[in-house]
Structure 1
Amino acid sequence: MSVIELHDVYVSQDVNTVLQKVSFTLEKGEFAYLVGRTGSGKSSLLKTLYADLPVGAGAATVAGYALPKLSSSKVPFLRRKLGIIFQDFQLLFDRTVAENLLFVLKATGWSGKAKIQQRISEVLMRVGLAGSASKMPHQLSGGEQQRVVIARALLNEPLLLLADEPTGNLDPDVADSIMRLFVEINNSGTAVLMATHNYQIIRQYPKRVLKCENGQLIDSAVTPFQLKMEN
Structure 2
Amino acid sequence: MTDHSEPIIKLDRADIYQGERPVLNDVHFEINEGEFVYMIGRTGSGKSSLLKTLYADLWLHTGSAKVAGYELHKIKRADIPFLRRKIGIVFQDFQLLSDRCVEDNLAFVLKATGWTNPSKISKRIAEVLMQVGLGTSQKRMPHQLSGGEQQRIVIARAMLNEPKILIADEPTGNLDPEVADQIMQVFKTINNAGTAILMATHNHEFLRKFPARVLKCENGSVLEG
Identify the TM-score tier after normalising by the shorter chain. Answer: over 0.9
Is 2:181 the counterpart of 1:137?
no
What is the correspondence of 1:105-184 to structure 2 with a 5 Å cutoff?
105-184=110-189
SS of aligned partner of 2:77:
coil
1:189 to 173, 194, 197: 194
> Quick one: distance in 2 between partners of 1:29 and 1:120?
23
TM superposition score normalised by structure 2: 0.96
Is 2:77 the counterpart of 1:72?
yes
1:49-93 CA-partner distances (Å, limit 9, x unpaired): 000000020010000100011001001111110000011111111
What is the correspondence of 1:1-231 to structure 2 with a 5 Å cutoff?
1-220=6-225
Deviation at residue 129 of structure 1 after TM alignment: 0.8
Deviation at residue 168 of structure 1 after TM alignment: 0.9
Deviation at residue 120 of structure 1 after TM alignment: 0.6
SS of aligned partner of 2:181:
helix
Deviation at residue 158 of structure 1 after TM alignment: 0.4
> Quick one: distance in 1 between partners of 2:132 and 2:188?
12
Does the CA contact (< 8 Å) of 2:10 and 2:28 recur in 1?
Answer: yes
Could you tell me which runs of 5 or more consecutive residues in structure 1 were left unpaired when the two chains were aligned: 221-231
SS of aligned partner of 1:53:
coil
Deviation at residue 46 of structure 1 after TM alignment: 0.4
SS of aligned partner of 1:74:
helix
Q: Which residue of 1 aligns with 2:3?
A: none
Amino acid at match of 1:177: Q
> Quick one: distance in 2 between partners of 1:163 and 1:85?
5
Q: C-alpha root-mean-square deviation of aligned residues, in Å?
A: 0.7
Deviation at residue 8 of structure 1 after TM alignment: 0.6
Deviation at residue 132 of structure 1 after TM alignment: 1.0
Does the CA contact (< 8 Å) of 2:169 and 2:200 recur in 1?
Answer: yes
> Quick one: distance in 2 between partners of 1:145 and 1:181?
13
> Quick one: distance in 1 between partners of 2:61 and 2:95?
27
1:13-66 CA-partner distances (Å, limit 9, x unpaired): 111111110000000100100000001111100000000000020010000100
Amino acid at match of 1:93: S
Deviation at residue 112 of structure 1 after TM alignment: 0.4
Deviation at residue 173 of structure 1 after TM alignment: 1.2
Percent identity (aligned):
62
SS of aligned partner of 1:184:
helix
Amino acid at match of 1:3: I
Count of aligned positions: 220
